[in-house]
Amino acid sequence: MMLSLRFSTAASALLLGLGLFFSSVASAQATVPAAPAAATAPEYRLGAGDVVRINVYQNPDLTLESRVSESGVISYPLLGTIRIGGLGVSAAERLIADGLRKGNFVKQPQVSLVLLQVRGNQVSVLGQVNRPGRYPLELADTRLTDLLAAAGGVATSGGEMLIITGTRNSKPFRTELDLSSLFAPEGRGQDLVMQNGDVIWVDRFPLVYIYGEVQRPGQMRLERGMTVMQALAAGGGLNQRGTERGIRVHRKTVEGKVQVLQPTMDEPLKDGDIVYVRESLF
């Protein structure tokens, strides 16, 4: 009798301990904040010219391949003309399924829409790139750098300035970006999300011209922050007849007039400047 009592007391203590343990675990789990839901990427929106294939499970007669018209519509069996332009793929699937269900054509329609060709949402990449042309926006969050990569990157003749034009909120949009700033620590914010009809223009690299009494006259690429001294060095320096006192910079103003400047050696140059080195008179 004493042994049974001791066993019962020990079992009760064990059960009590386990109960307190699981209670504390449940309490701790309740206090842990829930992990934030993963942000879903915006869905591609169908546009005029896109080619789609629509299937309805176990209804092969309702399979259709069609091109979205300029007005954003397609003609679908049993439903007639439906507008899917501007809708995401899942929204277009729901629209067709609802039409089949409400028309009592299919009780529980399972509709799938596959995008075969992207023609409705495109961006033009022009200027100094390796493969200029029009490129589809296959993803809703396609960015500027994605399109530059698709165009083969900036050509050797390309500069660092990009011009992006298009429409935002039904208003004309234009901005200029420095290519190097896209890869700065805070450059992600400048890597714009592209929209249908945008145009990316990559300008040529800036040039300066050097002639007169130098070793290698001609044109050269104007590097960022290049000074008169650096330009002369790139041109091989002065020849035996050249003199620093005879250096002049011819620069065109906004009005189209040409200014003749007598610069210092650390004077920064601008695109289109002409550096002329006169001959020493003595």
Amino acid at 266: D
pLDDT, greater one: 147 or 188: 147
The CATH architecture of the domain made up of 51-117 is 2-Layer Sandwich (3.30)
Q: Could you report the per-residue pLDDT of 246-281, keeping only the tens digit for each?
A: 999 999 988 889 999 999 999 999 999 999 999 887
Residue 225 in this model has a pLDDT that exceeds 80: yes
In terms of Cβ atoms closer than 10 Å to its own Cβ (0-12, 13-18, 19+), residue 183 is exposed
**What pLDDT, on the 0 to 100 scale, is given for residue 282?**
60
Tell me the pLDDT of the chain averaged across its residues.
85
Mean pLDDT of 107-129: 93
Identify the weakest region by mean pLDDT among 29-33, 118-122, 168-172, 174-178: 29-33
Q: How far apart are CA 275 and CA 282, in angstroms?
A: 21
Residue 229 in this model has a pLDDT that exceeds 60: yes
Identify the weakest region by mean pLDDT among 37-41, 92-96, 170-174, 255-259: 37-41
**What pLDDT, on the 0 to 100 scale, is given for residue 141?**
85
Q: What is the pTM of this model?
A: 0.68
Residue 4 in this model has a pLDDT that exceeds 70: no
CATH code: domain 207-279 is 3.10.560.10
**What pLDDT, on the 0 to 100 scale, is given for residue 164?**
96
Domain ranges for the chain, please list them: 51-117, 122-204, 207-279
pLDDT, greater one: 139 or 244: 244
pLDDT, greater one: 268 or 28: 268
Residue 37 in this model has a pLDDT that exceeds 60: no
Residue 8 in this model has a pLDDT that exceeds 60: no
Residue 220 in this model has a pLDDT that exceeds 50: yes
Mean pLDDT of 47-54: 93
Same-fold call for 122-204 versus 207-279: yes
Residue 228 vs residues 6, 222, 236: alpha-carbon distances, Å: 100, 11, 13
pLDDT, greater one: 197 or 140: 197
- Provide the terminal-to-terminal Cα distance of the chain, rounded to the nearest Å: 129
**What pLDDT, on the 0 to 100 scale, is given for residue 41?**
62
Residue 99 vs residues 64, 88, 149: alpha-carbon distances, Å: 15, 17, 41
Mean pLDDT of 190-209: 93
Share of the chain above pLDDT 70, in %: 85
**What pLDDT, on the 0 to 100 scale, is given for residue 211?**
93
Residue 65 has φ and ψ, to the nearest 5°, of: -110, 130
The beta strand positions in 57-110, using DSSP E, are 64-67, 73-76, 80-83
CATH superfamily ID and name for 122-204: Outer membrane lipoprotein wza domain like (3.10.560.10)
